[in-house]
Amino acid sequence: MSGRSRGVTGLLVVLLAAAAVGGLPVQGHAADPWTLMAQGQALYQAGRLGEAWTAFAQAAAEAPGSARPALWLGAVAVARGDRAAAVAWFSESLRRHPSLPEQSCAMAWLRQLGLAVARPRWHLQTPAEYAVFVHAVNHSLSPGQSEWLGSTLIAAAQRYGIDPRLVASVVFIESRFNHQSVSSAGAEGLGQLMPETAVGLGVDPRNPLQNLLGTAWLLRLNLDEFHSLPLALAAYNAGSGAVRRWGGIPPYAETQWYVWAVLWVYDGLRA
């Protein structure tokens, strides 16, 4: 979904802004937590998550009264796909007397991670099973509409050699099977295609059939370029240029959450 506004990125912008105007509590060695936080942020943005984790963990130990290192540890855990650690550290940040922006950031992340609580677990193989799943996700659809969407999703995926369960996972995250969904950034339809992306694919994003075809085709193009499902999903969210530029999943909070979320749902649909 190249060019889409990265709303979740604002959660990390809060942390970066706070680092510029606020101070960590002084715990013995006054400069150490600041230095560690700066190192951790640079390592995170470079995609060196293991080293970033170590730096933020040391900062959290040096400044046990500060919520900020705990927030960053939660963000790194999300990027590493470790939901349990992410929930633990975001919850820990709320126990560290956070500022209002820090509290809002932690609570927003915990709401995002709440997706896992309701992760769908379905056996999807036949059109009838897809129809039941689609209707369970979007109760506003009639049985006939659910059947049509299920069958059309399978056909679109098969046309481009994509696992239909992957397309279903992407649509689940993007729109919850609401073909009228439009994001604040202008992404449209089931797969939330940006207008310029849809033009490049030659599809009308407001048309459910063409939107599903565009979604499957974009996934196919990304898989062919990057030969990796996580990278293909990152390119779907942030654009292939961003993945090439960073040499991997970009260090954008939304993109890292998006890859984790789609893979989380996809794993449930293959259960």
How confident is the model over 62-84, as a mean pLDDT? 87
- Consecutive H or E run containing 61: helix 49-62
* Active-site residue list: 174
By residue count, the chain amounts to 271
Cα–Cα separations (whole angstroms), residue 152 to 149, 233, 260: 5, 21, 26
- Consecutive H or E run containing 267: helix 253-269
pLDDT tens, residue by residue, 124-144: 999 999 999 999 999 999 999
Q: What pLDDT, on the 0 to 100 scale, is given for residue 33?
A: 86
pLDDT at residue 172 is higher than 70:
yes
pLDDT at residue 65 is higher than 70:
yes
In this prediction the pTM is 0.67
Could you give the CA distance from residue 119 to residue 108 in angstroms, rounded to a whole number? Answer: 18
- CATH number of the structural domain 127-269: 1.10.530.10
Q: Provide the β-strand partners of residue 182.
A: 188
Q: What pLDDT, on the 0 to 100 scale, is given for residue 25?
A: 41
Q: What pLDDT, on the 0 to 100 scale, is given for residue 175?
A: 94
Is residue 248 within 8 Å of 266, Cβ to Cβ? Answer: no
Q: What are phi and psi for residue 180, nearest 5 degrees? A: -95, 5
Domain boundaries, the chain: 9-118, 127-269
pLDDT tens, residue by residue, 227-241: 999 999 999 999 999
Q: What burial class does residue 32 get, using C-beta atoms within 10 Å of its C-beta: 0-12 exposed, 13-18 middle, 19+ buried?
A: middle
Residue with tokens 């407001």: 206
Q: What pLDDT, on the 0 to 100 scale, is given for residue 191?
A: 98
Could you give the CA distance from residue 235 to residue 249 in angstroms, rounded to a whole number? Answer: 8
Residue 8's pLDDT band, with cuts at 50, 70 and 90, is very low
Question: Would you report the helix, strand and coil content of the chain in percent, each value rounded to 5?
Answer: 70, 0, 30
Residue 54's pLDDT band, with cuts at 50, 70 and 90, is very high
| pLDDT, averaged across the chain | 85
CATH topology of domain 9-118: 1.25.40
